[in-house]
Chains A and B, each alone.
Chain A
Amino acid sequence: GIQVEQSPPDLILQEGANSTLRCNFSDSVNNLQWFHQNPWGQLINLFYIPSGTKQNGRLSATTVATERYSLLYISSSQTTDSGVYFCAVSPGDMRFGAGTRLTVKP
């Protein structure tokens, strides 16, 4: 089955810093989503981005489907950005990466 690898596994930032999270996947996909799992466990949809670039406030994402990777950019990080960021892909059921645990310190 399709493999999804996220890097880095852990990231600690000072408030105000920028960061880039990466998601590599092993096969063609027609769905790619980025989620933020908050400390209460809720998965929040960030981007639906099987290809191209999208921006939403301080967050943006780029997927290069032909090269099988996606990047999530977080600018001017805030403490509320802390949590786990998951990339998930599917041609069918959704396959999740192991996540990047982000800690933003004040």
Chain B
Amino acid sequence: GAGVSQSPSNKVTEKGKDVELRCDPISGHTALYWYRQSLGQGLEFLIYFQGNSAPDKSGLPSDRFSAERTGGSVSTLTIQRTQQEDSAVYLCASSLVGPPSDYNEQFFGPGTRLTVL
């Protein structure tokens, strides 16, 4: 597609349920990133995929969070046993190449707004 797409755009769930968020990067982009933005805050890095390399999971806040990227394209972020503090907008980005390349301009999707009741 022309840009990064994410689904669903909004997700309301009950505390304790699992949720899956999907990201479809720009075609041909090898690097994919997940971020979280809590209300009125900046963006917090979660996880980064580069090609077929092992992902950089250093930003995941707990072991309830996991992500996978199938076939080097679409990615799914899974949050198990959701908590109210997980409520946020989850943003996905992709770049043509990833770090440590000198050129890795990131392009963002519209985000998924997650509300945990």
A95-B45 contact, Cβ under 8 Å, with A41-B110, A42-B110: yes
Which residues 27-65 of A sit at the B interface, judged by CB distance below 8 A?
Answer: 30-31, 33, 35, 40-43, 45, 48, 50
Residue of B nearest to A48 (CB): B105
Residue of B nearest to A90 (CB): B99
Contact A96–B43 (Cβ < 8 Å): yes
One digit per residue, 1 when the CB lies within 8 angstroms of any chain B CB and 0 when it does not, for chain A 79-99 equals 000000010101111111111
- The count of chain A contact residues (Cβ–Cβ below 8 Å) is 23
Task: Specify which chain A residues have a CB less than 8 angstroms from the CB of B114 in the assembled complex.
Answer: none
Contact A92–B42 (Cβ < 8 Å): no
Task: Specify which chain B residues have a CB less than 8 angstroms from the CB of A43 in the assembled complex.
Answer: 91, 108
Provide 11 A-B residue pairs closer than 8 Å at the C-beta atoms, listed in order of the A residue. Answer: A30-B99, A41-B110, A42-B108, A48-B105, A91-B100, A92-B48, A93-B59, A94-B35, A96-B35, A96-B42, A97-B42
Q: Which of A30, A35, A45, A99 is within 8 Å of B100, CB to CB?
A: A30
A30 to B106, CA, bound (A): 13
Task: Kindly state whether residue B33 has any CB partner on chain A within 8 Å.
Answer: yes
